[in-house]
Every structure is written in C-alpha cells, then in structure tokens.
Structure 1
Amino acid sequence: MSAFEGTSNPQRAVERGFYVNLPNNPVAVITAKIALRPSSAHLLFGGIGSGKTTQLLLTQQALNELEDIKAIYVDVSLVTDISDLKSGALIVIAGLELLKILGDIEESKLKSCKKIIENAAYGYNEIKILPSLSESLNASSAIFRAISSSREIVTNHKGLLSTEKQENKDLVLRAFSALYKATQEKIGRKIIFLFDGLDRLSDSQVFIDATLNDIVEIKNAGGGSVLVGSVVTIYKKRENITSFDSSSYYLSYLDVFESVEVQDFFADVIKVRDVENLINPDVRQFLTFKSGGVLRDLMSLCQASIEEAYMDGSDKITEKHANQAALSLARSKIIGLTESNVNILRQVLTGENFFPRTSEDFEMLLTGHILEYRHPRQRFVVHPILAPIIENMVASVANG
C-alpha cells in the first residue's frame, strides 16, 4: 500500500521505479537550457499535487549527470516558515548548502563568511558594554558611585529563517558570493539550486518581493536556480513574471476526460504500483476520472480503496471500495467551504464562463476545488470528486 502514498517523498517513488514519464514534462527543456546557461533562472508553476516536486527531483537527477553542474534540491518549507518568508532567506538557505559541501574550513576569510551566513540564518546574541551610570551622568554623589560598574546589554538578533533582519544584507551577499566561488573551485562545477515548497506561498507579492530578488543575487554570484511557484502567482503577477529574466513553465493538471494519452498515463501510474493486479481496469478508469488528473488525489484514492478492501476482507479492489474511497475524499474536500465558495463551484459546474479574478476564485484554484486544464484545450472544471455533491445542491435549489 505504501506504493500509493500520495503525500510521501516523491524521491522514494523515483528510486523504487514508480515514475512514469509525464506528458509534456519540462525536465528535458529545463536541463538543456541550464546546460547552455548555468546561471539562468527557471520558474515552474502549477497546482498542488500536479507533480512539480517529482519534476524538480528528475531535473536534479538529469543535471547531476552533466560533468560541469552540481544541482542541489532544497524544500524551503522544511527549513523556514513559508508564510513569513523574507528577502534574503533563499540566499541564506543556499549558503548553508554550500557550507555542507565545503565541510571544515581553514581559511580565515571563509570562516568569517561562514559565521555571517550562520548568524543570518539562525540569529545571534550581541553583547554591548555600556559605561556606568555614574560616568554617564558625571555624578559624584555616593548613590551613583555605588553603581559605578559597567553595564552589559545583550541584544538578540533573530535570523532570516525566523524573522526579518535587513541591516547586514550586503554583508550576507558578499559572504554568499565568496562561499559560492570557493565551492565552485573545490568541486569544479557550476552550482544550481532547486527550491521546492514555494507553491505554498499564499501571498503572491511575497513570491515577487522575496524569492525573485534572491534569485537575482544568486545569479549575480554565478549560480543558477529553479523554483516552484503557486498557480495563483502566474495569474496575479503575470506582468512581473513576464518581465523577470527567467524561463517560465506551467504544469497544469492533466485532462483525463479529453486526452487519451493522459488516460493511458494514469493507467500506467496505477499499473506500475499495482504489481499484484488488485485493481481491475474498470476500477482503474473510475479512479482516474475521479482524480480529476491530480496525481496526488489519484494516489490518495488508490490507497483509500485498498484500505476499504482490507476492511471488507477482500483481496481485490471492487467498484464498491473505490466508491467508498471517493466519498471519503469528497467529504474531506467539502469541509470548510463557505456559501460563496459553493456558489462559485455551482457557476463553474453549470457551464457559466469562469476566469479567476477574485480572491475567492484564486482560493478555489489554490485548493484544487477548481481545476485548470490546458491540453488539449484550456478549461476550468469542478474537481470530479466534488461534482456530484454540487450537482445535488444545484438540483435542490432548482426544486425549491
């Protein structure tokens, strides 16, 4: 059953041979462009569960097969609080990765750079010795002479990975540049950073202000970057993304209803994991359609179906088990929806023209309640797992 864990580390799936080549995957294009220009920047946008992490890991794998490139993968969400991401955080995170490669540092200048990066990352205490009160007030009375000793003030400076700290940014940039140069000389390769987890940023402006500025500084030091972004950012900040010196890619959900190629792909995704043939072709097709083309949801549905079969004492997954799994996932997705959210879903379901404009529209896209397909044509649909529930609501309203 672990083969169908939807939220497990995609690296394990790749290592275990579960990866099936994604239609229109961007790995080859990104790898080729970085091979030509190692200090370039690449932005990969898409919905949660669309397969971006897997594509990043495969890109890392492909880049590391090149003789002159070292690709480093980092999940930013595991290192710092994404919701409070600050400008400079990616530089510091990249600097920490360089320190891992450098290991023990003997040179005094690089030791200083190491301390700067670590202080910027984790914070530090600064101790200041202030003159005694009697000296400060130039007093001669006995009461002030009694407190004539110097005073020690301790100031705690939080790091960039916890809160904003900007006054030493130039110092951090110089330290990072020196560490990058030293690392490149040590391993004889250009270094590319692949930043994952940034698609969880709900504030698109933070993505522009914090991450893109850091990418520019990494590029100035000679490094390249690939980072993921939210589906919302590509809509809200299209002008910023277009004007930024980078290559952009959009990994949309896969249209399981209008593309035979996608249907075959999803069948292969299940087949390569279902070595015991527990899921027959009809149930595979049912699960594929219910997933809506969201890879993570497909994994969750398969796992839940297996659990249902186990509880039922069956050694095969039947349509009954798949239906129960679909109902369970639908309930989890319907929780927390407001009346306004439901109205938006009704509009999309009944065929009204939809294009994301409002914050609630974007919320529906971000959470995957509304899915965007771009191949073979662009269209928006209510997630198939929710469609029957919304249809019942529409029918109830129509019947008064």
Structure 2
Amino acid sequence: MESGATPDRRQVYRPFLARLNPTSPHLLDQQSLIVLPSHDPHDPDQPPIHAGFAAIAELTPGAQMALVGGIGSGKTTELRLTRGLLGRHKDAVTVLLDMAELTDINEINPGAILIAVGTRLYHQLDDEHRQEADVRSAYRRLRELAEGKTEWVEATTSGSYFEGEDPDYEPDLVQVSTPGLLRPRFPAIKRSVSEVFDLVCTVSAPLILMSHQVTILIDGLDRLIRPERFRLFAEQDLQALRGTGISLIIAAPLLMWFDKNRFLQEYFDEVKHIPAAVSDPEKSTFLNEILIRRGARDLMGEAEISTISKYSGGVLRDLITLARTSAEAAYRDDKNRIELSHVESAIRQLGKRYLIGIGRVQLQFINRLMRDEAFSIENPQAKELLVSRQVLEYFNDGRESFAVHPALCKVLEEAE
C-alpha cells in the first residue's frame, strides 16, 4: 500500500461503526437513526407500540403495561420512543430505569424496584420540595435500604447489661451490617415492601399533588435467569404502585409470553409483544432502512445490505452485529468497501455463535423445524431455544410461526 495513495481506512469505517451504536456519546442526533415502525407488529390496523403505550399512560394515570420480546428485538428502543412521546406534555415526569445497570437483577429482593423508583422520582422534584423534611428523610431511608448500612452496637449478654455494672464501663462494640436490597450478588433477604412503599409515596407526593403525569419505564427485568421471579416483583412491587396514579411500563421476560397461565395478560392492563421483524427484503424494507439510515450505502451495495437483513432473522441486535462484523472484516482485508465475502464471513461467525451450547435433544428440535416446519413450545428445551434466539418467533397475517435463525441454518447446512 503506497503512502498517501489510500485514505485512512479508520476514518472510512469509524463513522459507520459509531452510527451502528445509537447510544454512542459522539452522536449528536441519535433520533435520526431510528426507523419508526408503522404499526403494531401483531395488528397493522393498530398504532406502533410506543404510540399505544404513550396514549394509555396519558389517558389512564396508574395504568400498568408490559412489553415482551426476545433479546435484541427492540424493546429498549420502544421504551425510549415511548419516553420521547410522553415528553410532549409540560407536566410529564417520565423516568426510564434500567434495572440491569443498577444492580444484579437475579439477586435483588422484593422492594428493590420500588426503591429505584423512589430514588429517581426524588431527583425529579424541584429544590423546594427536595428540602422538605419528610421528603428528605424518606429519600435518605430509601438510599439506606438500597445500599445497606454498617453500624456499631454494644456487645451485651442476652441484649442487656448486668446489674451493678461500673457506670464508667465502656462496652465492647461489634460491627453489624445490614445488606442493601440493590446490592449486587448478595443472598436474598426478606424485607417488608410496605415500608418501602410508604417512603416512595412520601417522595412522590409533591408530584402527584401537583397533578403531574408520572410514568416509570423499567428495562432490564426481561433478562432474569428465572422468569418466575418476575411474577414475584409484579405481585409485590408493582402491585404496591397500583392506585398511586403512577403509570408503569416494564419489559418482561419472553417466557412469560408463552406462560399457559397467561399471567401477563391477567395482571397488566396492556401487554405488547415484539416478534422478530420480517427479514425478507422483498416483503419488507424495514431492516434495510435501518442500515441505510446508518450509512450502509456509503460502504456496501444493495446485495450486501439485503443479505445482512435476511440473515439477521429480523433480530435487530443481530442486524447491527452482522453489519459491524462485516465492516471489521473488510477493514482487515484493506478494502474500502464491504463485499459479499465479508458479509458471508460475518454470517458464519454469528451462526457458529448460535451453535454453541446446542445439545443432541435441542438439535433434534432444530432439525425437525428445518425439515417439517414443526415446533412445539411445550417442551422446556424448546423454550430455551426461543430465549437464546436460536429459534425465532414471527407473526405474519395474524398467525404465529417459528423458524431456525437463518445464520444458524447456514452453518448447519454447510456442516452436512
């Protein structure tokens, strides 16, 4: 490569990779990168999920809604879009919490969600209300419950002093620690949710009394290893919030959508599900548009864009991963543009990643689905394939269907 004859390829690919990550702090106009869905994926006659959620929160204070979808399906984007819509009213107080960033979600205890809500609402208050004694005291107690505390107490026998003790006697002190509800990787500790709820009510009272439209959006709990724990939080933390006038929208584990008991549908006022997007560019240009918004046409042709869309399986996270990996492969090959060979390399890499952990029984489910298009979600191992995105769920023409992730299909077919 002659010096000065070729542009600095880092500058060719860096802007594209940055735009593939909408949360990059270097991007000033992140909103322009989002391709808005035109309708609810389950009903083309209904508005997009974020528009429906925002309308319910605005019209029915205190409503509770759940959003379900696989990993990388776009739940976080929908929550952010909902938050943006709710901001159209001056009295809107909208908080987006990512519990997975706050703590180890698989170790938190009942009351932890309420604590996160209370502490964030405190920071939404103006200075005057934050200085009120009861509000400030409630906030300090919430922080104490969240972070835990360490104090020194007197070491006594049976909890009392001996009669006739020397009044100048200085007792030994022992350290007593109370673990916090949000402390990561800590053994579960039973606590009463009622105390936390009372504190949250004290903190949020100024907002409610001023008739503010308060909405809490909670992300992260969809990643719970044991989805049945979501039911525990719903029945305690979320139930406590009912009747407060605080609306709530929460991302729920995908397995709850397939729960025979229909817990989500019975508990929440509204439940929305995000299936995998249509990945065939001839049927929908949605995925292609996402890449084009991020500058794909500057680095690849239509064939490469469509191939990435197709083999993403409609999983938005995989769409971004394939684009990024293709760009990295082209950069390593000293190419100024992404070619089909780079895209195919990225597809194989993604497919091999999905191949990891597949056992004999799971492979039987996959082969049967590939061969006969037959798949039953009653089997626990079949459900695991859905959660891991090795099998994808689609919703087209009013009918639910399942398919093996196309990148995994490609690797399995090449292995035959």
For the aligned pair, the TM-score class normalised by the smaller chain equals 0.7 to 0.9
Task: Check the 8 A contact 1:132/1:149 in 2, yes or no.
Answer: no
Task: Check the 8 A contact 1:194/1:225 in 2, yes or no.
Answer: yes
**In the alignment, what sits opposite 1:173?**
197
**In the alignment, what sits opposite 2:9?**
none
Any idea what SS the aligned residue of 1:128 has?
A: strand
Specify which of 136, 149, 171 is matched with residue 111 of structure 1. Answer: 136
Matched, 1:364 2:385: yes
Specify which of 60, 70, 76 is matched with residue 93 of structure 2. Answer: 70
Specify which of 21, 28, 36 is matched with residue 36 of structure 2. Answer: 21
Matched, 1:380 2:392: no
User: Could you say if the C-alpha distance between residues 135 and 287 of structure 1 is closer, same or farther in structure 2, counting changes exceeding 3 Å?
Assistant: closer
How far did residue 304 of structure 1 move? 1.2
State how 1:274-353 maps to structure 2 within 5 Å: 274=295, 277-353=298-374
User: Could you say if the C-alpha distance between residues 132 and 331 of structure 1 is closer, same or farther in structure 2, counting changes exceeding 3 Å?
Assistant: closer
The TM-score with structure 1 as length reference comes to 0.88
**In the alignment, what sits opposite 1:251?**
274
State how 1:199-238 maps to structure 2 within 5 Å: 199-236=222-259, 238=261
Stretches of structure 2 lacking an aligned partner (at least 5 in a row): 1-13, 41-47
Aligned mates of 2:16, 2:271 — CA distance in 1 = 31
Amino acid at match of 1:323: E
**In the alignment, what sits opposite 1:355?**
376
Aligned mates of 2:86, 2:396 — CA distance in 1 = 27
How far did residue 268 of structure 1 move? 1.1
How far did residue 216 of structure 1 move? 1.9
User: Could you say if the C-alpha distance between residues 339 and 281 of structure 1 is closer, same or farther in structure 2, counting changes exceeding 3 Å?
Assistant: same
Specify which of 143, 150, 167 is matched with residue 125 of structure 1. Answer: 150
Amino acid at match of 1:180: S
Stretches of structure 1 lacking an aligned partner (at least 5 in a row): 396-400
Aligned mates of 1:53, 1:27 — CA distance in 2 = 11
Q: Percent identity?
A: 22
How far did residue 37 of structure 1 move? 0.5
User: Could you say if the C-alpha distance between residues 98 and 363 of structure 1 is closer, same or farther in structure 2, counting changes exceeding 3 Å?
Assistant: same
How far did residue 382 of structure 1 move? 0.5
User: Could you say if the C-alpha distance between residues 149 and 311 of structure 1 is closer, same or farther in structure 2, counting changes exceeding 3 Å?
Assistant: closer
How far did residue 272 of structure 1 move? 1.3
User: Could you say if the C-alpha distance between residues 15 and 388 of structure 1 is closer, same or farther in structure 2, counting changes exceeding 3 Å?
Assistant: closer
**In the alignment, what sits opposite 1:398?**
none
How far did residue 372 of structure 1 move? 0.3
Any idea what SS the aligned residue of 2:406 has?
A: coil
**In the alignment, what sits opposite 1:153?**
174
Any idea what SS the aligned residue of 2:396 has?
A: coil
How far did residue 145 of structure 1 move? 7.6
User: Could you say if the C-alpha distance between residues 16 and 98 of structure 1 is closer, same or farther in structure 2, counting changes exceeding 3 Å?
Assistant: closer
How far did residue 182 of structure 1 move? 2.1
Amino acid at match of 1:98: L
User: Could you say if the C-alpha distance between residues 337 and 153 of structure 1 is closer, same or farther in structure 2, counting changes exceeding 3 Å?
Assistant: same
How far did residue 275 of structure 1 move? 5.9
User: Could you say if the C-alpha distance between residues 90 and 3 of structure 1 is closer, same or farther in structure 2, counting changes exceeding 3 Å?
Assistant: farther
What is the CA RMSD across the aligned residues, in angstroms? 2.8
Specify which of 23, 28, 32 is matched with residue 9 of structure 1. Answer: 23
Amino acid at match of 2:403: V
User: Could you say if the C-alpha distance between residues 370 and 192 of structure 1 is closer, same or farther in structure 2, counting changes exceeding 3 Å?
Assistant: same
Any idea what SS the aligned residue of 1:248 has?
A: strand
User: Could you say if the C-alpha distance between residues 32 and 146 of structure 1 is closer, same or farther in structure 2, counting changes exceeding 3 Å?
Assistant: closer
User: Could you say if the C-alpha distance between residues 60 and 208 of structure 1 is closer, same or farther in structure 2, counting changes exceeding 3 Å?
Assistant: same
Any idea what SS the aligned residue of 2:377 has?
A: coil
Any idea what SS the aligned residue of 1:256 has?
A: coil
Aligned mates of 1:133, 1:147 — CA distance in 2 = 21
Task: Check the 8 A contact 1:50/1:253 in 2, yes or no.
Answer: yes
The TM-score with structure 2 as length reference comes to 0.85
Q: Structure 1, residues 192-228: CA drift from partner, whole Å, max 9, x if none?
A: 1100111111212100102453122223332111011
Specify which of 92, 96, 105 is matched with residue 82 of structure 1. Answer: 105
Any idea what SS the aligned residue of 2:350 has?
A: helix
User: Could you say if the C-alpha distance between residues 176 and 237 of structure 1 is closer, same or farther in structure 2, counting changes exceeding 3 Å?
Assistant: farther
Aligned mates of 1:41, 1:131 — CA distance in 2 = 49
My pick for the range that moved more, 118-127 or 91-100, is 118-127
How far did residue 92 of structure 1 move? 0.4
User: Could you say if the C-alpha distance between residues 200 and 375 of structure 1 is closer, same or farther in structure 2, counting changes exceeding 3 Å?
Assistant: same
Matched, 1:268 2:292: no
How far did residue 241 of structure 1 move? 1.5
Task: Check the 8 A contact 2:326/2:343 in 1, yes or no.
Answer: yes
Matched, 1:391 2:413: yes
